[in-house]
Chain A
Amino acid sequence: MSRTDQHLGPLVDLGRERPQVPARARNMSPIVPRGSISGSALVAVVAIMTFLASITTGTVLLVSASAAEWQSEVASEITVQVRPSPGRDLDKDSAAVADAVRAQPGIVEVRPFSKEESAKLLEPWLGSGLSLDDLPVPRVLLARVQPGSTIDLEALRRRVTQATPTASVDDHRAWIERMRSMTGATVVAGIGILALVIIATIISVSFATRGAMAANRPIVEVLHFVGAGDRFIANRFLRHFLRLGLEGGVIGGGIAMLVFGFSESIANWFSGTPVGDQFAALLGTFSLRPSGYLILAAQAVVIAAITAWASRRTLFATLNDIE
């Protein structure tokens, strides 16, 4: 214990010279000056990393949301195909299958595609002005499933085959599986990129911290002389790094949010072009939900916290080397 805690008289007696002490508190300089830490480079690094991480996360969120939408849309539909067969009337078979599907519990709507509609579906491959009479083109029926209900597919298949032996039911399972694996791959790739960004951030922050500690070594030594522990010293530096991390996080995350905010307008500029149409097909409306923005904000805070943590780790390691 220092004896300053005891009630001792003045260390020096100035007698009449005793100064009139101003009542106002002094504005004390920070122990570690802000300018001594080359912050702008670190802020730029953290901002870039946060931007990349936010773009990655935002894209993963968009793809996941679009894929989920697709899956729910596709899962709510069943396609029945009626193949032409010699000696059978395709229109009659289609009508019989439509009746059989309508009778299945859980089906709310059945829409048989007419001959003209089937021709339109084939138009991209076979060209316009096609006469289906010359070709053995199957007829398609689209059945919409009541949302939330489960269809007994086996019973439906039996029912449809009884009505027409050449009919088959497709519940898009293979398509949905492919969608799931595509979404999963996108998420895994996103997590991989995020991990790389975070590792790069930690390495950059560690180098910046070492640089700052080297520049401020005289301050650290003086603080040791006056009895400051490593925790006290580390906290003085940590404040700066947390602030720099937050600044970088806000800048990078903010720009990424603006990009997503304006993404719909950007998508509109490209609409009508092959690239624009592909993106629209893959990412839907290209707009992030409010929860997505919250995730991006949380991510920026996490990156700032990682900056502070990496800095703290390096600080204690470096302080061990400074006597």
Chain B
Amino acid sequence: MVRFENVGLRYGLGPEILRDLSFLIPAHSFQFLTGPSGAGKTSLLKLLFLSLRPTRGLVNLFGHDVSLLGKEQVADLRKRIGIVLQDFRLLDHMTTYENVALPFRVMGKDESSYRKEVIDLLKWVGLGERMDALPPILSGGEKQRAAIARAVISRPQLLLADEPTGNVDPTLGRRLLRLFIELNKSGTAVVIATHDMTLMDQYDARRLVLHQGRLHIYE
């Protein structure tokens, strides 16, 4: 599904922050991406999400060499990827329901075809009572859950999550991890970037550890 070969990344003329990354993310796999702060976890997620292009090496996503992709092809590939960012990126003028339903709207689906699914998922992440609330009045944890719901609602083939349990209590963190595991069982490859050891200890999964720009894999 995802193949990196000798990938390097630098910002501008600065030092290389990711060096010689070579790894595979198979379909249906589950992995934690970890490492100290500033190790390049978010940059690696951005490479996976096609927000950044590598300065060297080969990135192959869903069978496509990303260096050859045009903007519309990138948009098509992104429909197969869900992403949860640390800053949530919810649209403040839309309700929680509308934010979560956004991927379906972009796909051009009729509201009646996904309404039930969106409401089910909002209930599951504990936002059943907040579905008509606007993001500015949601707490940090609620925003995070809404962002996660938006990322998983269209059942992407690849889910990327950057510190997805950073703003929630341990109980809800476990519940969200269960959601990711359920999603993985239904066929989605999951990459969770975290340095929360407690979270990683709750589920036995592959660990990709970034240290000083290099990647170490623990199967």
**Residues of chain A at the chain B interface (Cβ within 8 Å):** 1-4, 8, 10-12, 14, 17-19, 21, 25-26, 28-29, 31, 33, 36, 218-219, 221-232, 320, 323
B111 near A28: Cβ-Cβ < 8 Å: yes
Shortest Cβ distance from B188 into chain A, in angstroms? 8
Most buried by A among B78, B97, B187: B78
A4 near B155: Cβ-Cβ < 8 Å: yes
Known: A3-B187, A219-B91. A229 touches B155 (CB 8 A): no
A8 near B103: Cβ-Cβ < 8 Å: no
Residue B154 at the chain A interface, CB threshold 8 Å: yes
Main secondary structure of the interface of A (DSSP, over half): loop
A12 near B106: Cβ-Cβ < 8 Å: no
Mask of B145-163 contacts with A, CB within 8 angstroms, 1/0: 0000010111111000000
A29: chain B residues within 8 A (beta carbon): 93-95, 98
Please report the total number of B residues contacting A with Cβ < 8 Å: 51
B179 near A323: Cβ-Cβ < 8 Å: no
15 A-B residue pairs with CB within 8 Å: A1-B80, A4-B154, A4-B155, A11-B186, A14-B123, A14-B124, A26-B115, A33-B93, A218-B91, A222-B89, A222-B90, A225-B49, A225-B83, A227-B106, A320-B71
Q: Given the complex of chains A and B, what is the CA–CA distance between A309 and B95 in angstroms? A: 32
A17: chain B residues within 8 A (beta carbon): 123
A323 near B72: Cβ-Cβ < 8 Å: no
B93 near A226: Cβ-Cβ < 8 Å: no
Mask of B67-107 contacts with A, CB within 8 angstroms, 1/0: 00001100111111101010001110111011001111111
Q: Given the complex of chains A and B, what is the CA–CA distance between A1 and B120 in angstroms? A: 23
Residue B183 at the chain A interface, CB threshold 8 Å: yes
B119 near A21: Cβ-Cβ < 8 Å: yes
Mask of B42-59 contacts with A, CB within 8 angstroms, 1/0: 000000010100000000
A28 near B106: Cβ-Cβ < 8 Å: no
Query: Nearest 10 CB-CB pairs, A to B?
Result: A227-B79, A229-B75, A12-B124, A227-B78, A228-B106, A226-B103, A33-B93, A21-B116, A4-B154, A3-B155
A227 near B115: Cβ-Cβ < 8 Å: no
Q: Given the complex of chains A and B, what is the CA–CA distance between A323 and B80 in angstroms? A: 17
Known: A11-B183, A29-B93. A2 touches B79 (CB 8 A): yes
Q: Given the complex of chains A and B, what is the CA–CA distance between A14 and B52 in angstroms? A: 38
Residue B171 at the chain A interface, CB threshold 8 Å: no
Mask of B108-133 contacts with A, CB within 8 angstroms, 1/0: 00011001110111011000100000
A2 near B107: Cβ-Cβ < 8 Å: yes
Q: Given the complex of chains A and B, what is the CA–CA distance between A14 and B128 in angstroms? A: 12
B123 near A19: Cβ-Cβ < 8 Å: yes
Residue B182 at the chain A interface, CB threshold 8 Å: yes
Q: Given the complex of chains A and B, what is the CA–CA distance between A17 and B126 in angstroms? A: 11
A320: chain B residues within 8 A (beta carbon): 71
B75 near A227: Cβ-Cβ < 8 Å: yes
A11 near B153: Cβ-Cβ < 8 Å: yes
A20: nearest residue on chain B (CB-CB)?
B119
Shortest Cβ distance from A63 into chain B, in angstroms? 50
A21: chain B residues within 8 A (beta carbon): 115-116, 119
B156 near A2: Cβ-Cβ < 8 Å: yes
A28 near B105: Cβ-Cβ < 8 Å: yes
A28: chain B residues within 8 A (beta carbon): 98, 101, 105, 111
A25 near B182: Cβ-Cβ < 8 Å: no
With beta carbons under 8 angstroms apart, the residue of A228, A232, A323 that contacts B51 is: A323
A219: chain B residues within 8 A (beta carbon): 91
B115: nearest residue on chain A (CB-CB)?
A21
A8: chain B residues within 8 A (beta carbon): 155, 186
Q: Given the complex of chains A and B, what is the CA–CA distance between A10 and B118 in angstroms? A: 10
B179: nearest residue on chain A (CB-CB)?
A12
A25: chain B residues within 8 A (beta carbon): 111-112, 115
Q: Given the complex of chains A and B, what is the CA–CA distance between A36 and B120 in angstroms? A: 31
A229: chain B residues within 8 A (beta carbon): 71-72, 75-76
With beta carbons under 8 angstroms apart, the residue of B79, B120, B182 that contacts A14 is: B120
With beta carbons under 8 angstroms apart, the residue of A1, A19, A223 that contacts B119 is: A19
A2 near B154: Cβ-Cβ < 8 Å: yes
Q: Given the complex of chains A and B, what is the CA–CA distance between A223 and B75 in angstroms? A: 10
A224: chain B residues within 8 A (beta carbon): 75, 78
With beta carbons under 8 angstroms apart, the residue of A11, A223, A227 that contacts B155 is: A11
Q: Given the complex of chains A and B, what is the CA–CA distance between A176 and B3 in angstroms? A: 81
Most buried by B among A17, A28, A227: A227
Most buried by A among B75, B95, B107, B123: B75
Shortest Cβ distance from A152 into chain B, in angstroms? 71
B152 near A11: Cβ-Cβ < 8 Å: yes
A33: chain B residues within 8 A (beta carbon): 93
